[in-house]
Amino acid sequence: MTKIAFIGLGIMGGPMAANLVAAGHDVIGFNRSRGKVDALVERGGRAAGSIREAVGDADVVVTMLPDSPDVEAVVLGDDGVLASARPGTVLVDASTIRPDVSVRIAEAARAKDVGALDAPVSGGEAAAIEGTLSIMVGGESADMEAARPLLDVVGATIVHVGPAGSGQIVKAANQLIVAGTIQLVAEAIVFLEAQGVDTEAAVKVLAGGLAGNRILDRKSAGMLARQFAPGFRVDLHHKDLGIVTSAAREVGVAIPMGALAAQLMGALRAEGHGDLDHSALLLLVEQLSGRARG
């Protein structure tokens, strides 16, 4: 049994922490809004009223927070993780943030004799609940091995991809592929509907051929039903497309499809849909096609 402090118990962090409890670990949770902590306690976890209380005697600290400034505040802040963690603790940041911020956090952690991994995840809420996330890990191999028992609980595909920040680079590529795929699936669905084809039958056969993909498998039913409860919020994917477009620019790589996907995600957000699931890109396709529903 490992003592795990888990900070950020939202759509992803909540089920990940619950799975760690179910696997027999001692999990103490902290979240900005208290209701999420209560939900963890109902599943057998413990509650912390502050970061200090959560982190003080933890072996591993997991953070699952929305964006780079959140992780910086929680980890590097005056009352943050590094101010309270014991030497030898390993910090696993599962949030999707800027690679340069992950590198800076790893350096600050090392100065306190704390190990740090950037370990962003893919697979969405469903994989978080199932404990089958794909986890791309950046950092030192020894820290990865120390965290492996915990990573094995929340993930099914866990790959060390390089030094600090590498996990975030791989995750940025992941988000590029996911956004572009959602956009094409959305266009295909609106196209099929406009042609009067049985879309459920169409999706079934498409999923079995070369056009098959996880977005069709996991998101198309919700898209057909116009159910866009998150899931993965448009606001968060907008953040991620900002990360990938600027990281690509830094190394002089052109990502024209990705840049277009970033513009479309930004437009969807500007329309006031930041809290919807990213599959709501379909609404934009309908709008651009003069087929928006009232």
Residues with a catalytic annotation lie at 171
Minimum gap (Å) between residue 17 Cβ and ligand NAD = 11
Nearest position to ligand NAD, beta carbon: 10
Amino acid identity for residue 204 in this structure = K
Judged by beta carbon, residue 154 or residue 202, the one nearer ligand NAD is 154
How far CA 286 is from CA of 3, 102, 183, in Å, comes to 49, 38, 12
Minimum gap (Å) between residue 230 Cβ and ligand NAD = 7
Which residues of the chain form contacts with ligand NAD (CB under 6 A)? 7-13, 30-33, 36, 64-66, 70, 73-74, 95-96, 121-122, 124-125, 231-232, 236
Judged by beta carbon, residue 191 or residue 214, the one nearer ligand NAD is 214
Judged by beta carbon, residue 7 or residue 90, the one nearer ligand NAD is 7
For the chain, give the secondary structure using H, E and C.
CCEEEEECCCCCHHHHHHHHHHCCCEEEEECCCHHHHHHHHHCCCEECCCHHHHHCCCCEEEECCCCHHHHHHHHHCCCCHHHHCCCCCEEEECCCCCHHHHHHHHHHHHHCCCEEEECCEECHHHHHHHCCEEEEEECCHHHHHHHHHHHHHHEEEEEEEECCCHHHHHHHHHHHHHHHHHHHHHHHHHHHHHCCCCHHHHHHHHHCCCCCCHHHHHHHHHHHCCCCCCCCEHHHHHHHHHHHHHHHHHCCCCCHHHHHHHHHHHHHHHHHHCCCEHHHHHHHHHHHCCCCCC
Judged by beta carbon, residue 65 or residue 268, the one nearer ligand NAD is 65
Minimum gap (Å) between residue 264 Cβ and ligand NAD = 18
Minimum gap (Å) between residue 65 Cβ and ligand NAD = 5
Residues near 148 by beta carbon (within 8 Å), at least 6 away in sequence: 158
Minimum gap (Å) between residue 35 Cβ and ligand NAD = 9
CB atoms within 10 A of CB 229: 9
Judged by beta carbon, residue 67 or residue 286, the one nearer ligand NAD is 67
Minimum gap (Å) between residue 78 Cβ and ligand NAD = 13
Judged by beta carbon, residue 121 or residue 281, the one nearer ligand NAD is 121
105-139 burial, b at 16+ Cβ within 10 Å, e below that, comes to: bbebbeeeebbbbbbbbbbbbebbbebebbbbbbb
